[in-house]
Amino acid sequence: MVDLTSFARTASDRAVSMTLVAIFNEDSKTPRVLADSEDYLAYTLKNGRTVRLVARSNNMKGSLRAHEKPIHALQFVNYRSNVAASASASEFFVWVVTNDNAAGADPTTSPLTVRLYFTLRDERTICRFCFFINLAVGTPDLLVLYDRKVAVLESSRLIRECTSAPVEASLAKDSRELRELTAAVGPGTLCGVNNAGWFAFTTEATLVVACTLRNRGTPAWPACEEAAIKGLELLDAPGPEGPAMLFAASDSTVFQWRLTGQSAPVRLRRLRFGRGLVALLSAKNTLAIFNRDHQLALVEGKEKDGKEELAATIYPIRAEVKPGSVCFSRLARYGCVLVDAHSQIEMYQFALEPAGEKERGGNSIPIPIPTPTPLSDPAILSVTSKGAVASPPTRAGLSGKSASPGSVILNNLMQQVQRGNLRIAQKTPETANGDSGLKKSPPRKESPATTEPAAKRAAGTADKGARALLQNTALPKPINGPLAAALYESEETVRREVDGLSSSCKNINEILRLSPDQLARDHEQLLSLALEAQMTALQNVGATLASPDRGGEAEAFNSLAIMKLIRPIAQDIAKGVTHGIRDTLRGELDDALRSTLSKSLRESQLAAAKKRIDHTLNECCAFFSSEVQQRLQLFAERELGDVFAKINTSMGELTEANQSLREALKEIMNTNAAGEICALREELSELKSTLRARGVNSVATDGILPEGRSSPEAIFVIVRGLIDQGKPSDALEYLLMAKQPLCILRFLSQVEDQVYSAIIADPKIAGSVWTGLILQICKPEVSDSIEDTEYAAELILDILSEHSDILKSRTAKTQQMISDLRHFIIRSKTQITNHVSLSTLRDLEKSIQ
């Protein structure tokens, strides 16, 4: 257990700076959803259905109004991207925000442009989603959680298919199911991804699953010791599908786990921080922990000398952090946190220490990185169980200078030889077959940005000079069919065989390296034991045969006889023992070497076969591409010939028609029709100016249009022309002068969403125009239709949300507007039964209180 409060370094107040992003007139009933990138900040407004976007460079603003229900998730693809996704109940959109204005444009009059890429037409709620880089194709895709399923949505392909109108996507057609969940996805479900292709998500309140696209059937485990999981994050890994660090947080403790994919998750440590935890976020290889004491701990992990070290720094935060209403990002020298502080949104920047200073002065906890224990020979396992557990034994773990390890190896080897049961076990790494069906497997493409050398999968690879796996990443991978399945299975089989042969060769090399020294020591020991035994036996025989009266002569004779007898016997014993051990070891080692050579021969044959297959595939691909190119060229020439012939025919017909038109024009010019038309135009212009002068005078004196009400179609044409000329204020004033409230509702409901947003957010339109517009909309004649009443309520709420300052005016017209609004709300409540519209009326009633 590590207490970060006492362990971590506390940063000074100078290292923290705070900036206000937005200030609101009143608090929101629900927490705002936040997201940030390098260029933009995004947050939801009070109604929860609108996303406000702010450019970091020039404070230009824009809005996304596609949602009809409150948004519960919002995220950019990554910190460098301007593509984002947002989800609400039964709605999911992927969109892009761009700043098409000039560098010196006015931020109040030049809004950001928001364009929808695609939307889901399924009536399903995406509770959680994460963008990740699909290592198979090198493009970003979406991990989505809904109902009881986890799926991968092909977002990059859908974005490429979008040309002008948004694409309507379907989960059944445009996504691939990753796995089924044991419980339905809800608001408490969590998920996380990293750059190495790892996915992590909660299946129940206390269980976590971590898997990859190739290894999907991993079991769930309690990541917080039976406690409810409140936060889940995955840190980036050094390489693709390499070991990953997973952090799971309960209400009081953060648990760190190491994921390898070849063994069960290993818990490294537990972290505590203050009186309780509020939120857990991550960016790259940095973890951000927020507690209830208004503090933030930035934790970084790194590997050094085979150990994983942890460094942490604590920063103070003034705002109260709420789960789901905070986002964290990290660059090289500073970190950034965006917080919803009730009536305002605050952005904190933290100055981070350089890597060198952190190594010199930062606190760190070294922990050895555990590795899975491989299958190995029982003799080798018995020797190395006290020291190095890693596979296979290296030169540092098995040294020929020690007598006891070598003796144990030799004794076990001799026992195996005598029983005829010499085995050298090898470890087969656990791999997953990926998709069970060929139709669901994605095409494996290679790109310079994402392709890395094949990982060294042999558990016994202790040095950096181990040979790489046999594979050819330059060949095109077929999408489906029996050839793809055969290639994939043969690649896995060859990889496992190569791993096993490498492990066997290393074990045999260690045995052969230790055998000569051990044989020499055991030979000397056997000679000494044999001589001692012979000496003891001869001394006993001499003692029984000698008589007590012989004295010194008998003892001298016995000594000389013993020496003469011992010398040839000892020589024969030494020769026999030496030859016996040498012949036995030579025979067994010959068998082992034959087996190794046969396996090496098989490996070379497999390499040759693979080389031939690669060559054949290259030739087939080249032949296929040349054939396709020739056929396309022939097809293009044939089609272009037909097209050019049709074009020549059409040009001839156009030339004849043009000639006839010229002749007709000459006849018209000869009849002096042009002069009559010019005179008629002059009369029409004078008549128009006269009518326009009369209409302007009538409007100026009476405040009404000239006698006679215009048709809605004529009003729409004039208003549309004013909007196209960039005069939305004049268009609204013309609608007010028409005094037809239903025309106002019909026109604003028919315009495009971007035009509607631009009109509502235009700061140049005076408050008196909005006041007059609301007064006409609140008239009783609008309440004849329920649809018109519902749309009128939404329109009034949008106007008051963007221009809340018109309510602060104390003029008689403003008071009349507020009074008419109250009567309008009372009339509407008796007619409307839709829950969404009633909620809109309640928000409208609160805004005018």
Q: Residue 121: is its pLDDT beyond 50?
A: yes
Q: What pLDDT, in 10s, does the model give residues 809-818? A: 778 888 888 8
Contact 585, 519 (CB under 8 A): yes
Which phi and psi (to 5°) does residue 492 adopt? -65, -40
pTM of the model: 0.46
Q: Residue 82's pLDDT is what?
A: 93
Asked whether residue 679 is assigned to any structural domain, the reply reads: no
Q: Would you say 439 and 480 are in contact if contact means Cβ atoms under 8 Å apart?
A: yes
Q: What is the pLDDT of residue 465?
A: 37
Inter-CA distances, 652 with 48, 638, 646, 655, 746, Å: 62, 22, 10, 5, 48
- Other Cβ atoms less than 10 A from the Cβ of 258: the count is 18
Residues 6+ apart with CB under 8 A from 315: 11, 15, 16, 295, 296, 297, 298, 348, 350
Model confidence at 453, pLDDT cuts 50, 70, 90, reads: very low
Asked if the model's pLDDT at residue 701 lies above 70, the reply is no
Strand ranges (DSSP E) for 759-821?
none
Q: Identify whether 285 is part of a domain.
A: yes
> Which of 336, 368, 400 is the C-terminal boundary of a domain?
368
Q: How far apart are CA 439 and CA 425, in angstroms?
A: 37
- Count the alpha carbons within 13 Å of 171 in the hemisphere toward its beta carbon: 20
Q: 140 in the Ramachandran plot: left (φ > 0), alpha (ψ -120 to 50) or beta?
A: beta
Q: Is the pLDDT of residue 18 over 60?
A: yes
Average of pLDDT values for 820-848? 84
Whether residues 546 and 456 fall in one domain: yes
Residues 92, 65 share a domain: yes
Q: Determine the Cα–Cα distance for residues 103 and 58; give it in Å rounded to an integer.
A: 8
For the domain that residue 309 is a member of, what is the CATH number? 2.130.10.10
Structure-block tokens of residue 408: 């144990």
pLDDT tier for residue 202 given thresholds of 50, 70 and 90: very high
Shared domain for 155 and 211, answered yes or no, is: yes
Q: Are residues 638 and 718 in the same domain?
A: no
Question: In 490-506, which positions are buried (b, 16+ CB within 10 angstroms) versus exposed (e)?
Answer: ebeebbbbbbbbbbbbb
| Mean pLDDT of the 800-808 span | 84
**254 assigned to some structural domain:** yes
Phi/psi for 277 (5° steps) reads -100, 145
Q: What is the pLDDT of residue 117?
A: 95
Clarify whether residues 211 and 245 are in a common domain.
yes
The tens digit of pLDDT for each residue in 707-739 reads 456 778 888 888 888 888 888 888 888 888 888
Ranges 181-195, 219-233, 407-421, 532-546: which has the least confidence: 407-421
Residue 677 lies inside a defined structural domain of this protein:
no
Do 713 and 662 share a domain, yes or no? Answer: no
Task: Report residue 451's pLDDT band, with 50, 70 and 90 as the boundaries.
Answer: very low
- What number is the average pLDDT over the span 402-406? 39
Max alpha carbon distance in the chain (Å)?
175
Looking at per-residue pLDDT, the higher value among 311 and 396 belongs to 311
| pLDDT at 656 > cutoff 50 | yes
Residue 691 lies in a domain: no
* Residue spans of beta strands (DSSP E) within 121-252: 128-134, 139-146, 149-153, 167-169, 175-180, 191-193, 199-202, 207-211, 221-222, 231-234, 244-249
Tell me: do 357 and 411 sit in the same domain: no
309 and 334 fall within a common domain:
yes
Range in 113-117, 471-475, 487-491 the model is least confident about: 471-475
HSE at residue 403, side-chain half, CA atoms within 13 A, is 5
320 and 398 part of one domain: no
Quote the mean pLDDT of the chain: 77
746 with 841, same domain: the answer is: yes
Q: What angle do CA 573, 574, 579 make, to 5 degrees?
A: 100
Residue 173: inside a domain, yes or no? yes
| pLDDT confidence bin for 479, thresholds 50/70/90 | very low
Residue 696 belongs to some domain of the structure? no
pLDDT at residue 554, as a whole number: 58
Residue 617 is part of which domain span? 375-671
Pick the last residue of a domain from 624, 648, 671.
Answer: 671
CA 350 from centroid of its chain's CA atoms: 24
Looking at the structure, tell me whether residues 426 and 335 fall in a common domain.
no
- Count of residues for the chain? 849
Mean of pLDDT values over 125-143: 91
Whether pLDDT at 300 is above 90: no
CA distance 202 to 223: 10
Single out the residue in 671, 697, 731 at which a domain terminates.
Answer: 671
Average pLDDT over residues 593-615: 88
Would you state the structure tokens that stand for residue 222, as one six-digit string?
Answer: 């309690």
pLDDT (tens digit per residue) in 282-297: 998 899 999 999 999 9
In a domain, 678, yes or no: no
Total structural domains within the chain:
3
Q: Indicate the SS3 state at residue 281.
A: strand
Shared domain for 89 and 156, answered yes or no, is yes
